[in-house]
A and B are shown apart, each in its own frame.
Chain A
Amino acid sequence: MSDRISVAKTYKLYLGGAFPRSESGRTYPVADAKGKFLANAAQASRKDLREAVVAARGAFKKWSGATAYNRGQVLYRVAEVLEGRREQFIAEVAASEGVAAKRAQALVDTAIDRWVWYAGWTDKLATVLGAANPVAGPYFSFSVPEPTGVVGVLAPQRSSLLGLVSVLAPVLATGSTAVVVGSQDRPLPAITLSEVLATSDVPGGVVNLLTGHTAELAPWLASHADVNALDLTGAHAEQRKGLEEAAAGTVKRVLRTPLEEPDWAERPDIGRLRAVLETKTVWHPTGV
């Protein structure tokens, strides 16, 4: 053992490509599974959340306008950079979730591979979900999937990294941008993941990650008029109905998920991609 004193990290928010503290100046202590203090996390406010939506909206045009190939390469780059910081994530996931190193390793590896899985989807969605429509008339008609816009994501409360990646990556793959509220009690891997995103060619603002109290932030996210879709995965049971009601105010697409978190290690299908996609149908006459 060296007697060197380590340099501890300040965990902050990830907002518009930068790492600010909460404008409220609030933090809350984060402990490991045994109750030992790990760090203070920023406790984001309603104002931080609104800033995050502004950043996500601002980033939407460029991100959704990038070619699917380019988005795929960026998501693959996230996997590459994550792989390079594998050991750090294994330690953080083990501490946050109270799992053995071997289990944490499997969770991190699956999280890396999940980015690769979604990287491969960017340029295949249109061929799997789109169509040329054989309409009965002299028209050429086709339908293409398009990203819905800004997606509010209440990240899983239990699975601090793999769960988070499993709900965030599909949003990015479609070309939508995200405002994520991380796991309240296990937020540290999320903030470290945002360091990976910040260095992986994901443009600033495409992902905005807030830590804090889910119950405090969720209603503002659900009612925000510039959010297009809401993923309820990490929402508390007693809040869910109210969040759905609030979402109706601007007809948000709501992804309802079971209260019990799924086994995130299972191979996903494309449900989470479909949940944040619109279908656009185009008509054009044919004829000389």
Chain B
Amino acid sequence: MPSWEYAPAPESRAIANLKPNYRMFLDGEFVEGGGEPLKSINPATEEVLAEVSTAGSADVDKAVKAAQRAQDKVWGRMPGAERAKYIFRVARLIAERARELAVLESLDNGKPIRESRDVDVPTASAHFFYHAGWADKLDHAGYGPDPRPLGVAGQVIPWNFPLLMAAWKIAPALACGNTVVLKPAETTPLTALVLAEIIQQAELPPGVVNILPGAGEVGAAVVGHPGVRKVAFTGSTDVGKSIQRSLAGTGKKLTLELGGKAANIVFDDAPLDQAVEGIVNGIFFNQGHVCCAGSRLLVQESVAEELLDKLHKRVATLRVGDPLDKNTDVGAINSRAQLTKIQELVASGEAEGAKRWTSPCPVPDKGFFFAPTVFADVSQAMRIAREEIFGPVLSVLTFRTPDEAVAKANNTPYGLSAGIWTEKGSRILWMADKLRAGVVWANTFNRFDPTAPFGGYQESGFGREGGRAGLEAYLDV
């Protein structure tokens, strides 16, 4: 056996073209905001990456008014075929600057470069490309002839896929003829502001897209502004609930993409090695900072021991560390606050009697890191089986019959996604029919495509992103 020694393969930080200061994007210009500037840090090193100006409440008002003007006078009136060409430009410019965006994303977010390079950035470009094509085909989308836009969309996005979530929000809004005021997450504003630069380079009319960094109060101001006719939020279920409550009676159209506690269900006939890869991808992709992460593993009892053994062996090989290293499998936890939350939930798992196994992999002493962790002997009542951990922590439960698997999988207020692992096609389809989840993956996990609608049941939110179904959120239908 040859021995393959580990050698670091770091991507150059210089590729990110990091600037010391970033400003918000309002009415086609980069301007200083009236809010207190924030410092975006690299979660892998805890060093400050850049200072970012944030929006004050007057800025939110200005941005909404600019977006309203742009919608009334230019964007809403423009033929779809012309809107399409602007959006295609954005898709191409993202693809051209893909490497720069990927490095910047990994610096700001902490995710492994392999993921930002192979998933986040290309999918973001694809999302614009796909929706560009819809801009002049809305008549064919099944919402009746000539469906109209809503107006100004206020959008608030999370820190786990900063650029990709911006694309998921902006692309359909623009394709349908709306204009946008978007607030990126406080800890990850940088790629959204490079996207603003791309939008400027694509010569979109001023005011069509406005990007206002800031903390929760900026988001609340955007969502609450009377000029906003559509609100789209991706983030925690708690905040989603408070947004839904705050919009009651306003008539604003709302879509929510919230938390999840997805069941990844493995039957005894599943190809176990393939399933192990899918389980690993399901929970350790993006450090588990994924709303649709397969965080509850349901294994058929007869193969539980064997699977768990294989899983431990595989997870122990995952490399945790420098997000810019192309070898890295699991990067940095996005913030200290998130790390604390994960630690707290893991402690509860131990206290409630679940059996903890943590990968013996080396973990950097600087930065926010958490070694991949698998809990066995988890019961449904435990917090780690009920609450979204949003970290690299997997809870393993067992079942005996398909009915029991369905009952346990659906035993959650969430309903975003689910996974099924079996060789039997009819069982996949039977399970898919019974699972109360918006996305069901069979013999795969965490697949995303602009043509495939994504979104949740129950407290995972409502509305879909992507596909023909995703257009509804941005049309007055």
Bind each other: yes
- B88 at interface, CB cutoff 8 A: yes
Asked if A127 contacts B467 (CB within 8 A), the reply is yes
Q: For residue A127, which residues in chain B have a CB less than 8 angstroms away from its CB?
A: 451, 467-468
Cβ of B161 under 8 Å from chain A: no
CB-CB under 8 A from A128, the residues of chain B are 140-142, 468
A contacts with B, residue count (CB < 8 A) = 23
Name the residue among A76, A120, A121, A284 with the largest chain B CB count within 10 angstroms.
Answer: A120
Using an 8 Å CB-CB cutoff, how does the interface string of B92-120 with A read, 1 for contact, 0 for none?
00000000000000000000000000000
Asked if A248 is at the interface (CB within 8 A of a chain B CB), the reply is: no
Residues of A within 8 A of B433 (CB): 286
**Chain A 111-130 per-residue mask, 1 if CB under 8 angstroms from chain B, else 0:** 00100110111011011100
Q: Which partner residue on chain B sits nearest A123 by CB separation?
A: B451
B316 at interface, CB cutoff 8 A: no
Which residues of chain A are within 8 angstroms of B140 by Cβ–Cβ distance?
A: 124, 128, 270
Shortest CB–CB separation between residue A95 and chain B, in angstroms? 28
Q: Would you call A76 and B88 a contact (CB within 8 A)?
A: yes
Q: How long is the Cα–Cα vector from A163 to B55 in the complex, in angstroms?
A: 51
Interface pair B133/A124, CB less than 8 Å apart: yes
On whether the beta carbons of B136 and A284 are closer than 8 Å, the reply is: no
Q: Given A121-B137, A123-B133, A124-B133, does the pair A116, B429 have CB atoms closer than 8 Å?
A: no
The answer to whether A143 has its CB under 8 Å from any CB of chain B is no
B467 / chain A contacts, CB cutoff of 8 Å: 127
Name the one of A73, A119, A288 contacting B430, with C-beta atoms under 8 angstroms: A288
Q: Which residues of B contact A119 (CB under 8 A)?
A: 133
Determine if A124 and B81 form an interchain contact, defined as CB atoms under 8 angstroms apart.
no
Q: Which residue of B lies closest to A288 (CB)?
A: B402
Q: Mark A257-288, 1 if CB is under 8 A from B, else 0.
A: 00000000000001000000000000011111
With a CB–CB cut-off of 8 A, which chain A residues contact B142?
A: 128
Contact B468 A120 (CB under 8 A): no
Q: How far is the CB of A138 from chain B (nearest CB, A)?
A: 8
Determine which of B81, B129, B137, B468 lies in contact with A73 in the assembled complex, contact meaning CB atoms within 8 Å: B129
B133/A72 in contact, CB under 8 A: yes
> Which residues of chain B are near A287, meaning CB under 8 Å?
426-427, 430
User: Does the CB pair A123–B130 fall under 8 Å?
Assistant: yes
Residue from B84, B137, B426 within 8 A of A285 (CB atoms): B426
Contact of A121 with B133 in the complex, beta carbons under 8 Å: yes
Return chain A residues, CB-CB under 8 Å to B132.
120
Give the residues from 110 to 159 in chain A that come closer than 8 angstroms, CB to CB, to chain B: 113, 116-117, 119-121, 123-124, 126-128, 140
Closest beta carbon of chain B to A130's beta carbon, Å: 10
**What residues on A are CB-neighbors of B450 within 8 Å?**
123
Contact status A124-B426, CB under 8 Å: no
Contact A120 B429 (CB under 8 A): no
Known: A119-B133, A270-B140. A286 touches B430 (CB 8 A): yes
Query: What is the bound-complex CA distance between A140 and B425, given in angstroms?
Result: 10
A108 to chain B: closest CB distance in Å?
A: 15
- A120 and B133 CA atoms in complex are apart in Å by 4
**B386 close to chain A: CB less than 8 A:** no
Q: What is the bound-complex CA distance between A150 and B135, given in angstroms? A: 30
In the assembled complex, the CB of A185 is this many whole angstroms from the nearest CB of chain B, namely 31
A259 to B451, alpha carbons, bound, how many Å? 38
Residues of B within 8 Å of A76, CB to CB, are 88, 129
- In the bound assembly, the distance between CA atoms of A287 and B428 in angstroms comes to 8
Q: Please, how many angstroms separate the alpha-carbon atoms of A140 and B136 in the complex?
A: 33
Give the CA-CA distance A117 to B137 in the complex, in Å: 8
What residue of chain A has the Cβ atom nearest to residue B81's Cβ? Answer: A113
- Tell me the bound Cα distance from A123 to B450 in angstroms: 9
Cβ proximity bits B80-91 to A, threshold 8 Å, 1 near / 0 not: 010011001000
Given the interface contacts A69-B129, A127-B451, A286-B426, does A117 sit within 8 Å of B136 by beta carbon?
A: yes
Nearest Cβ on chain B to A4's Cβ, whole angstroms: 37
Which 9 pairs, one residue from A and one from B, show the smallest C-beta to C-beta distance?
A120-B133, A286-B429, A285-B426, A288-B402, A127-B468, A140-B429, A286-B430, A287-B426, A287-B430
Interface set of B (CB-CB < 8 Å, partner A) = 81, 84-85, 88, 126, 129-130, 132-137, 140-142, 402, 425-427, 429-430, 433, 450-451, 467-468
Q: Known contacts A116-B81, A124-B134, A286-B426; can you find 19 more A-B pairs with CB under 8 A?
A: A68-B451, A69-B126, A69-B129, A113-B81, A116-B88, A117-B136, A120-B84, A121-B137, A123-B130, A123-B133, A123-B451, A124-B451, A127-B468, A128-B142, A284-B429, A285-B425, A285-B429, A288-B402, A288-B426
28 A-B pairs with C-beta separation under 8 A:
A72-B129, A72-B133, A113-B85, A116-B81, A116-B84, A116-B85, A117-B81, A117-B137, A120-B132, A120-B133, A120-B137, A123-B130, A123-B451, A124-B134, A124-B451, A124-B468, A126-B451, A127-B467, A128-B142, A128-B468, A284-B425, A284-B429, A285-B425, A286-B426, A286-B429, A286-B433, A288-B426, A288-B427
